[in-house]
A and B are shown apart, each in its own frame.
Chain A
């Protein structure tokens, strides 16, 4: 990170790493105010830590979302209904 930018973060004119990493969820969702989001763009573009950190955060989300399929047990509905008929006082 260049000296000018570091001074800006110290003066509170630009977000520091802690702030950027704390708000990554909102940044990814696009719910940050536009001006803040642009400040984050700038920070992520030049910070040697937050840049890769953000890529990894996003990769992690992608991997979570790829997920694995859950195989439904056969007769899930039937078994549940049998259980209900035996234990709940359903009216026909």
Chain B
């Protein structure tokens, strides 16, 4: 395959041929699957953390897209519509599975800072850059923390900060307002900062 041919199939800018998809054309679906399944898989896998289940979700996503394509209203990008299907399936699967060990809403709220008359109640101790750098499992610590976020916060961190979709796209995928995306992303980052805090603070010299 030539480079141009490849970029025609896999390039990010290509809008799928809707008429061909509407007609159920196999080649058009093959192009769609080739172009979108890798990105969609990454999102679904980050939500679920299970390769086999993620692969099932991808298959089901494209099947549903095939079955429901006549309901696509062209108000958003086609890929946004497609991803919304996949994300919904992934979230449904996560809720059904007993693997979910996320924080309760009240525990999540406790990770937000408290203020008195607009000022921090507790002082904020600095993080130790050396300790962060030396902690080779820092990404492990972070991803365990992300997994503990309530599901709707976790999804937004994955879509906005990791996969770097725009606020508007994420709002459409999740059918919430852009404001809600911004607020939840911020609250999620704040909660993550708090969960990382004990791992990264300067350690007190143990007093003998």
Contacts and interface: CB of A to CB of B under 8 A. Distances in A.
Interface of A: 9-10, 16-19, 21-22, 24-26, 48-50, 52-53, 55-57, 59-61, 63-68, 70, 72-73, 76-77, 79-81, 83-85, 87-92
Interface stretch (B11-19, B102-110, B135-143): B135-143
B190 A63 contact: no
B26 interface: yes
10 contacts: A16-B115, A22-B186, A55-B127, A56-B127, A56-B197, A57-B193, A65-B161, A81-B29, A91-B23, A91-B26
A24 to B, nearest CB: 7
A73 B25 CA distance: 25
A14 B120 CA distance: 15
Contacts of A26: 182
Contacts of A56: 124, 127, 193, 196-197, 200
Given A88-B29, A91-B24, 4 more contacts: A53-B113, A57-B189, A70-B46, A80-B59
Given A60-B193, A73-B41, A88-B24, A17 B63 contact: no
Interface string B23-36: 11110011001100
Contacts of A25: 182, 185-186, 189
Contacts of A61: 161, 189
A88 B143 CA distance: 37
A80 B38 CA distance: 11
Given A48-B124, A76-B41, A16 B118 contact: yes
B62 interface: yes
Nearest to A75: B55
Interface of B: 23-26, 29-30, 33-34, 37-38, 41-42, 45-46, 51, 55, 58-59, 62-63, 66-67, 113, 115, 117-120, 123-127, 132, 138-139, 142-143, 146, 157, 161-162, 164, 182, 185-186, 189-190, 192-193, 196-197, 200
A69 to B, nearest CB: 9
B25 A91 contact: yes
8 nearest A-B pairs in the assembled complex, by CB-CB distance: A16-B118, A49-B120, A25-B186, A83-B59, A90-B26, A18-B115, A88-B66, A49-B124
Contacts of B127: 52, 55-56, 59
Contact of A17 (B67, B115, B161): B115
